[in-house]
A and B are shown apart, each in its own frame.
Chain A
């Protein structure tokens, strides 16, 4: 089936000298082609502009739909009328009282501080753990490596929440007086960090090994190569790890609600737990607008941070996904 096509392509190359007739034929064919192209281009141009306009409209509409709930959150935080539901999208009267109330009457500032503390600590530990495990699995050679990687793969498939009741007991044993504390939460968020080494390992694998070898030949120890060569080259993956592990405690509800279940002192809560309570049936009429204000205060720095470091996030996500 493909043989005749091949011949046509090969033929002119084999006998370099073409006869005049053939040359004329070729030229005619070319002219014909360019004519066709022009015709098509005219149609194409209209089509393209039309397509672009439609695309632009669709995108605008979609992005408005996408942003509206967040915008709603923002405007509701300035609503003066009390109650959970308002009949209009925009508040009828605007006020800053919700914010004032947030900082004076509620424990929000305390929760914010708690969450920040937990986030910073667990982010540091997680980053150190993830980077070291990823480096070891990417560069070092030792007997137990493959079994360890397999075991970690299997461990990662259990739902993380499943072991929580045992973790709770363990914390009770290890920290008898403080098992419902920030320290427990930091431990819960960062102790298992080694399991998520995958993306960082994928990144380290792409850093050429010859760099390591050169350094090793020059007499640098493993520690030095890691510290002086690999880490400076891995800015993007470090930022990715820091970003994701910093954001995790702000978004988590499931673990904190388990660890902090039944704590009488609401000042120990993190933002997610405390704010969730505001939306429960008994509280929502009173606290809805306060919730919106708090949500804005939580979301703005996180969103800003995320937008600022978006590039690294995308790199991490795509890199990890493509490599599997």
Chain B
């Protein structure tokens, strides 16, 4: 910062800071897109190089190498790596069998109408007249969802096979070179031993990656593609087929004039407001609490800390459900009186707390209850970092006569924000996805403003809406999936900000 800054009036300083923020932000964004562009370029260059190598290997290889491009493992079999050769051979056979008997068909059924907007699958379930029995019988047709799932699985199988194929081709060329020099090829036993040594990562990653692939990647890709179909109760599988519809679901959702669009913008707005409120209230009060507990003269520090941490330790569904019942108005049951907090407030302030009836009251209550859970968490987090603030900073500030408030705003807060920036963003994203607090406390909130079938209510977040859409009577999977994608986009944008910040702080060395 230049000296001119100190000559400015506070108002101009404020404007200057904002402009600086946007400048940095823009720069970070540009840097980010530059990086993406470079990564893509790098990717394609890599692929091109791979192709070149592949072609060269094929071209310069001898007959055995060339033939092993058609029959995988042939080169291995004849040049001493028998087990490896057999594995490759089996792999190829399995792949061909899989494609012919199963995968190819599903892949075709899945994507043949992708651009034309037709059915996923071919035959729809229909009733036909059975003259022998004299009744209508059901002829079960294709299950669109399974077809989609298998289609995606097949895509991944193909990718996996291509990788194996290329590595086989490469290895057979290398084997040929070894053969020419007269070097003995690596024995299979050594390969196995290597799995615990230089190739240890293969062993360690195998199971986690299989789990991740089957139960995260494949389902996720499927659900992302569902956003481009019309899969809902009206097209429930296996009774009906669903169709590819392109971007129609997105258009419906973003159109502000429809009922659905209006609901969406409302929910999005509340989700963002909630995330900001929940994150900052918990953070600020957590930090203040940590400062207070860490104060020199305070006694019984451990006891206080334990008492506060108790709310983290108790499972959330217990603590939140009991809280929701304490705030309950009694559900309109005569003479029930409602939860203890509602009753107390009524007795003391003569005010009827409309939790679960009035939207704004419910929202405020939820934010406050969230503080009950969130503050101890940030307190734990902050106390560790507070102790790391160099104490000479405070000392010199004290000698210069800075008041405690000034010390807090000029030293503690900037330091904490700097160190815990990434944490704040993760908390923010966590709050966007905070299913528990909303669902267990208010269940989505006041129920009288049904805007849309299985629609969001007063305090629903995008994530609880997603839950209701996919479990509700409408089984609106297509919309649930669109919302899931939007949540992803929001999280990704905020994570990018962190990524830019932290990569600016970190040296390239740290990021190995």
By a beta-carbon cutoff of 8 Å, the part of chain A in contact with chain B is: 1, 48-49, 51-52, 55-56, 58-59, 62-63, 66-67, 69-70, 72-73, 83-87, 89, 128-129, 132-133, 135-136, 140-142, 152-155, 157-159, 161-167, 169-170, 173, 187-188, 190-195, 205, 221-223, 226, 247, 250-251, 253-254, 257-258, 261, 272, 275-276, 279, 281, 284, 288, 291-292, 295, 298-299, 302-303, 306-307, 310, 313-314, 317-318, 321-324
Contacts and interface: CB of A to CB of B under 8 A. Distances in A.
Contacts of A152: 212
B467 A133 contact: no
B440 A253 contact: yes
Given A55-B297, A136-B201, 8 more contacts: A153-B495, A166-B223, A170-B215, A187-B211, A191-B214, A223-B197, A254-B436, A295-B322
A131 to B, nearest CB: 9
Contacts of A163: 216, 219-220, 222-223, 484
Nearest to B347: A87
B337 A85 contact: yes
Contacts of B114: none
Interface in B329-386: 330-331, 336-340, 343, 372, 376-377, 380-381, 384-385
Interface stretch (B55-63, B130-138, B310-318): B310-318
Looking at A136, A166, A302, the one whose CB has the most chain B CB atoms below 10 A away is: A166
B411 to A, nearest CB: 18
Contact of B223 (A128, A165, A291, A318): A165
Interface stretch (B184-192, B254-262, B288-296): B288-296
Contacts of B3: 1
A323 B420 CA distance: 9
A158 B463 CA distance: 11
Contacts of B308: 62-63, 66
B502 interface: yes
B218 interface: yes
15 contacts: A63-B308, A66-B308, A66-B372, A84-B325, A132-B207, A142-B201, A164-B470, A169-B146, A187-B215, A191-B216, A192-B212, A194-B212, A222-B198, A253-B439, A292-B322
Contact of B220 (A162, A292, A323): A162
A261 B471 contact: yes
B378 to A, nearest CB: 10
Given A72-B340, A164-B470, A318 B220 contact: no
A318 B340 contact: no
B242 interface: no
A133 B222 contact: no
B201 A59 contact: no
B304 A59 contact: yes
B18 interface: no
Contacts of B207: 128-129, 132
B315 A166 contact: no
Contact of A159 (B217, B338, B488): B488
Interface string B40-82: 0000000000000000000000000000000000000000000
Contact of A85 (B339, B380, B381, B512): B339
Given A72-B340, A83-B336, A158-B488, A193 B315 contact: no
Contacts of B480: 162, 165
Contacts of A157: 429, 488, 491-492, 495
B363 to A, nearest CB: 20
A247 B422 contact: no
Given A194-B211, A321-B422, A302 B314 contact: yes
Contact of B149 (A142, A166, A251, A313): A166
A195 B212 contact: yes
A193 B435 contact: no
A48 B404 CA distance: 12
A158 B319 CA distance: 27
B463 to A, nearest CB: 6
A159 B203 CA distance: 29
B209 interface: yes
B452 interface: no
A164 B470 CA distance: 9
B466 interface: yes
A86 B304 CA distance: 30
B319 A279 contact: no
Interface in B176-211: 193, 196-198, 200-201, 203-205, 207-209, 211
Nearest to B213: A191
A55 B292 contact: yes
B498 interface: yes
Nearest to A225: B200
Nearest to A303: B313
Given A67-B310, A132-B208, A321-B422, A272 B315 contact: yes
Interface string B384-424: 11000000000000000000000000000000000111110
